[in-house]
Chains A and B, each alone.
Chain A
Amino acid sequence: MRIPCPYCGERDAQEFVYRGDAAPVRPAGDDGFEDYVYLRDNIAGPMREHWYHAQGCRNWLTVDRDSCSHAISGARLARGGTA
């Protein structure tokens, strides 16, 4: 699988660290913090997820990917929000 990094271009998935579902939002206080850190949905089908380009530009990406087909429909830098 190759991930289209907006800075580096298309790169093999081996260069990335997978974080999973990008939906969880950091809570303001302690309530729900453990869930935010540890719990990720594992969706079958289209999902929005975080990948870290560890062996490239060292940036977090937000990637739209279908976890069944592995088809990737978009990728952008995660900085400045996950939208």
Chain B
Amino acid sequence: MADDFALVERSSLGLATVMARKDISAADIGRALGMPMPDGPFESTGVDMSLLGTGPGSWLALCEKPGEDWADGLAAKLDGLASLSDQSGAYVVFRLGGARARRLLQQGVALDLDPEVFPPHRVAVTMIAHIGVILWRCAARDAFDVAIFRSFATSFRQWATATAAHLIEA
């Protein structure tokens, strides 16, 4: 089982939503942050942060090792360009890896996750088992990250565990 599926919580992440002000483009924000800015449902990676496109003019910022003032520092850089809201406690981010990770996700995601159409750094805001998710494929092709509102994390884990058990029996 361990080789087939591995579901691990990525803990202690810094998370924040970024929403562009009127008439401010992705490129404007990218210049202020000094990193490439995704202008579509993609992930772009900077020095210590990645940004996931979640909608027109909206992104989820993700920091692996946030300092205490990470969100405030980001808000200061985006002053006048975008609104920032610290979401570090709002989401749980799971990393789903293993040889059959895609097979498992494909039981719940109504999107084609073939790497030809859903390559690394591609992002989708969608649903799994009626639970809203932000899903993206990691740089390592066989792993996916899934951000879920914290209060739904237990339900998502139950879905993943039950679906994995079913696939192993099948």
Q: Is B40 an interface residue (CB 8 A)?
A: yes
Shortest Cβ-Cβ A-B pairs, 3 listed: A57-B55, A12-B110, A55-B127
Q: Which residues, 86 to 129 on B, are CB-close (under 8 Å) to A? A: 110-111, 124-127
Which listed residue, A9, A15, A59, touches B41 by the CB 8 Å rule? A9
Q: Which residues of B contact A15 (CB under 8 A)?
A: 126-127
Q: Is A77 an interface residue (CB 8 A)?
A: yes
* A contact set with B: CB distance below 8 Å: 7-9, 11-12, 14-15, 55-59, 77, 79
Most chain B beta-carbon neighbours within 10 Å: one of A14, A57, A58: A57
Interface size class of B (residues with CB under 8 A): 10 to 19
Question: CA separation between A31 and B107, bound complex, in Å?
Answer: 51
Do most interface residues of chain A lie in helix, strand or loop, or is the interface mixed?
Answer: loop
Q: Is B66 an interface residue (CB 8 A)?
A: no
Q: B56, A7: Cβ atoms under 8 Å? A: yes
Q: Which residues of B contact A8 (CB under 8 A)?
A: 41, 124-126
Q: B55, A59: Cβ atoms under 8 Å? A: yes
Minimal beta-carbon separation of A51 from chain B (angstroms): 14
Minimal beta-carbon separation of B31 from chain A (angstroms): 22
Q: Provide a sorted-by-A list of 5 A–B residue pairs whose CB atoms are within 8 angstroms.
A: A7-B40, A7-B55, A11-B111, A55-B127, A57-B41
Minimal beta-carbon separation of A75 from chain B (angstroms): 13
Q: Which residues of A contact B50 (CB under 8 A)?
A: none
Minimal beta-carbon separation of B39 from chain A (angstroms): 10
Q: A55, B56: Cβ atoms under 8 Å? A: no
Which listed residue, B55, B111, B124, B127, touches A58 by the CB 8 Å rule? B55
Question: CA separation between A12 and B111, bound complex, in Å?
Answer: 9
